[in-house]
Structure formats: C-alpha cells, structure tokens
Amino acid sequence: MKTEVELAPDAAPAFQSGFQRALFDEMSTTYGLVNLLASFGFAWWWRYQSVRALAVQPGQRVLDLMCGMGECFGFIAQKLGHGALHGLDFAPQMIARAQKRALALGRTANPAREVTVRLQDVFQIAYDAGWGNYDRLHCAFGLKTLARDQKRRVPDLLCRLLRPGGRFSFVEIAVPRSAFLRVPYLIYLRYLIPVIGRLLMGNPQNYRMLALYTTDFGAGSDLISHWQADVRLQVRTRPLCGGCACLIYGQVL
C-alpha cells in the first residue's frame, strides 16, 4: 500500500535548492532540537542505526552527504581510526556548525584522521582534492528534501562517489503504513511541530515544511522500488519504530 501523495502545484518551489538553502539557514539555530522532537527523541538512535549499517572500518574514506550540522560525525569517527571523513551540505549556516564539530573532533581525534567539510550542492560535487572513491556514504534526514527526479538520480550519484563494493546508508523520517500510527503522527508533524518551532523563536512556517517533505517521502516505497531495480546496487530496507523512520542501506556492486 502506498503512502506517497500528490503535492499541490505550489509546493514545487519547496524542492528548489535556493529555497531550501534559505530555509535551513534560517532554521539552523533551532533545527537540532525540533528534529529531536519530531522524532519523539529517537533521532539520535536512528542516526546511530544508520551509521551502524555502514560497518565503517578503520582507515576507510567516508562521505556524510547532506551532513547538516554534522550530527553523525561522532558516530562515524568512533569507527574511523586513521581514515577520512568528509561532510557536505549546501546551507552555509548548517555547514558552519558542522565545521565546529569537525574542529572539535580534530582536537580529540587520532592525529592521522582527516575530518573535512565542504559547502556544496549534492548534485554539483566537484571531484577534486580527493573527493570521490569513497568506501562508505552516509546520509541522515536529507533524502526527503530532494525532488522526486533527484531521488531517482541518487543511484547514479552512488556509483560515481563509491568504489565497487562500497556501502551506503540513508535514514529518513517516514510516514508509517499503519493508520494507527500514521494519523496521529501526521497531526503531530503538521500542527504541533510548527507550534514548538514558534515557541523556540523559530518561524512556524519553516517547520511546516518538514511535514511537507515527510508527507512527500511517504514510506519511501516508490523510491525503494526504483533503487532495488537498479542492477548496479544491492539495496535493503528496514523500518524503524513502526515505520516512523526508514533505513535504506546496501552496496554498489
């Protein structure tokens, strides 16, 4: 059963990079807390499960795609040893906060470890200065913000960025298939999260966008079917917390 919906025509600008860049820059001061509340406190656990699915090994090269404020850097660095971690995001305020995390890791990390962030759009990655040929690729809560045609292009991106045998893992807030969970969860996202955002001195309209992106992503079934049909990839999925989040992971063949 599908849970994806058709978006209103006026929702299309919400998937344009300029709109999203301004959106996440404005949300940067309150995004972490609201994201935690939107996940009922499970955001950190979902991130951990996503990184765990990568099975990062010491010495590997890892790309954290759409890394936001670098919330997953710590989980990845724990397994990285003397390897390299690159974070990429297109929102200046988000990447500035990720840079602070990267610097903090650098002060306490193995001195041979490389932790670098870059301000760049995911589909405009420049393959210079060692950005490419990764062993692992990770993305937490960024997939839903891609336009539908971009979601279908992600397998091409994975094949360009990962070496053969390289693993990937995406975790995303999703719409549960069960009506018992779906109805109250959507009410919570659409109406209560904007109120919480306003109480935290944020713009409630910004936080309504999180519900729009989540509703468009649905349970991720169309995207998963498309990726699983790609012979270049091995794709597995696992629902988290009754389908309130979706873990999509696998490897490039």
Residue 149 included in any domain: yes
pLDDT in tens, 63-120: 999 999 999 999 999 888 889 999 999 999 999 999 999 988 876 656 557 889 999 8
Amino acid letter, residue 129: A
What is the SS3 assignment for 160? helix
Residue 3 included in any domain: no
Number of structural domains the chain divides into? 1
Q: Which backbone phi and psi does 173 adopt, to 5 degrees?
A: -65, 135
Residue 219 included in any domain: yes
pLDDT in tens, 16-31: 989 999 999 988 888 8
Q: How confident is the model at residue 228 (pLDDT cuts 50, 70, 90)?
A: very high
Residue 127 included in any domain: yes
Contact between 61 and 83 under an 8 Å Cβ cutoff? The reply is yes
Q: Which backbone phi and psi does 93 adopt, to 5 degrees?
A: -70, -35
Q: Count the alpha carbons within 13 Å of 34 in the hemisphere toward its beta carbon.
A: 28
Residue 119 included in any domain: yes
Q: What pTM does this model have?
A: 0.91
Contact between 81 and 113 under an 8 Å Cβ cutoff? The reply is yes
Residue 4 included in any domain: no
Residue 2 included in any domain: no
Please report the pLDDT score of residue 197 as a whole number. Answer: 76
Residue 247: give its domain's CATH number: 3.40.50.150
Residue 130 included in any domain: yes
User: Regarding predicted confidence, which is higher, 32 or 252?
Assistant: 252
Average pLDDT, the chain: 88
Domain that holds residue 95: 9-252
